[in-house]
């Protein structure tokens, strides 16, 4: 019996060592594929341009590039165009604009049109404010000018002064339910009715009704913008439901929030995922 136990322990140790070795080989192979994937994606999006930290902080630059373009870009079903528009959203919302010129150029290479890029920025305005949006627009305009893109772009507005409330109310109803929006207006205190009106007129009338992006993409952008700014969990949860209502499933929302992770960090990403899980069960 003693010999049997000794043989069992020895075999377990050997198998454990073998498993560990195989595990190490698998990890090495995966790491190599990840690095190659990152290099290929960066070449596709940025050409020969290198990370500006490569000369001074090469190990950190490699860690960053491998995580963003090897890990995050390889996960999920977002297109490269969607990924770049959401990266632009996160950079604008967090006002980390040093990286914006490169991401705007990458978005163009990924197939985003100038209109789609501008509409992404406009979509951020109701959630992050005009100053942040203007700062991002000024940088984007410089990139467009260098690329020979003639501005102003074609007007994508579909509302007039006379229709912006009704059209905004209608699209709000499509996203959140007409009865809910009607109740919001009805139940708003007299000294706060202007906010309900602004939501219908500006946020949804002036912004959501524009051409250039469909409702699904506008809702993904909104989800990422309010996840990025932090402290807006009630609104994040509301727009998780809104995303569901316009046809974006949980996996797509998780992909979108994950795409923002390198730009906003883990705490805000995890907060957004917690909101998604509160609206949709964790394993759904």
Exposure on the CB side of residue 171, measured as CA atoms within 13 A: 24
What span, in angstroms and rounded, lies between the C-alpha atoms of 85 and 217? 9
122 pLDDT band, cuts 50/70/90, is very high
281 pLDDT band, cuts 50/70/90, is confident
Whole-number pLDDT of residue 206: 98
Whole-number pLDDT of residue 14: 38
Confidence (pTM):
0.89
What span, in angstroms and rounded, lies between the C-alpha atoms of 252 and 78? 7
CA 220, 226, 229, 230 torsion-angle sign: negative
- The answer to whether residue 264 scores a pLDDT higher than 60 is yes
Whole-number pLDDT of residue 183: 97
Q: Where are the domains of the chain?
A: 159-207
Mean pLDDT value of segment 228-257:
98
Burial of 196 (0-12, 13-18, 19+ CB in 10 A): middle
Calculate the average pLDDT of the chain: 91
Mean pLDDT value of segment 245-257:
98
What span, in angstroms and rounded, lies between the C-alpha atoms of 222 and 242? 10
Whole-number pLDDT of residue 32: 73
What span, in angstroms and rounded, lies between the C-alpha atoms of 90 and 221? 9
- The pLDDT tens digits for 30-68 are 567 999 999 999 999 999 998 999 999 999 999 999 999
3-state secondary structure of 221: helix
Q: Taking Cα atoms as reference points, which of 260, 258, 259, 253 lies closest to residue 277?
A: 253
Rg (CA), the chain: 23
Q: Which residues contact 199 (CB under 8 A, 6 or more apart)?
A: 168, 172
* Residue labelled with tokens 């727009």: 239
In 47-79, which residue ranges form alpha helices assigned H by DSSP?
58-65
- The answer to whether residue 86 scores a pLDDT higher than 50 is yes
- The pLDDT tens digits for 34-43 are 999 999 999 9
What span, in angstroms and rounded, lies between the C-alpha atoms of 62 and 104? 21
What span, in angstroms and rounded, lies between the C-alpha atoms of 115 and 211? 9
* Residue 213, both tokens: 């992006």
What span, in angstroms and rounded, lies between the C-alpha atoms of 194 and 206? 16
Q: Taking Cα atoms as reference points, which of 239, 228, 225, 234 lies closest to residue 264?
A: 228
What span, in angstroms and rounded, lies between the C-alpha atoms of 187 and 196? 10
Helix (H) or strand (E) holding 81: helix 80-94
Query: In terms of pLDDT, which residue wins out, 22 or 151?
Result: 151
What share of the chain in percent tops pLDDT 90? 87
């Amino acid at each position: 019996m003693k010999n049997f136990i000794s043989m069992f322990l020895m075999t377990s140790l050997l198998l454990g060592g073998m498993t560990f070795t195989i595990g190490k080989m698998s990890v090495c192979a995966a790491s190599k594929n990840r690095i190659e994937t990152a290099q290929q994606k960066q070449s596709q999006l940025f050409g020969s341009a290198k990370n500006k930290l490569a000369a001074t902080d090469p190990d950190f630059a490699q860690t960053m590039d491998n995580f963003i373009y090897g890990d995050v870009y390889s996960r999920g079903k977002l297109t490269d165009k969607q990924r770049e528009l959401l990266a632009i959203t996160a950079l604008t919302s967090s006002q980390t604009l040093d990286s914006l010129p490169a991401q705007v150029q990458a978005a163009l290479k990924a197939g985003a049109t100038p209109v789609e890029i501008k509409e992404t920025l406009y979509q951020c305005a109701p959630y992050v404010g005009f100053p942040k949006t203007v700062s991002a627009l000024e940088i984007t305009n410089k990139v467009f000018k260098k690329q020979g893109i003639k501005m102003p772009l074609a007007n994508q507005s579909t509302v007039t002064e006379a229709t912006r409330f009704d059209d905004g109310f209608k699209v709000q109803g499509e996203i959140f339910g007409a009865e809910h929006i009607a109740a919001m207006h009805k139940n708003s205190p007299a000294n706060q009715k202007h906010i309900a009106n602004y939501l219908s007129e500006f946020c949804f009338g002036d912004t959501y009704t524009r051409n250039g992006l469909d409702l699904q993409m506008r809702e993904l952008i909104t989800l990422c913008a309010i996840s990025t700014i932090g402290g807006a969990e009630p609104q994040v949860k509301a727009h998780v439901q809104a995303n569901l209502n316009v046809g974006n499933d949980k996996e797509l929302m998780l992909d979108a929030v994950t795409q923002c992770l390198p730009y906003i960090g883990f705490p805000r990403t995890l907060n957004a995922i917690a909101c998604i899980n509160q609206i949709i069960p964790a394993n759904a």
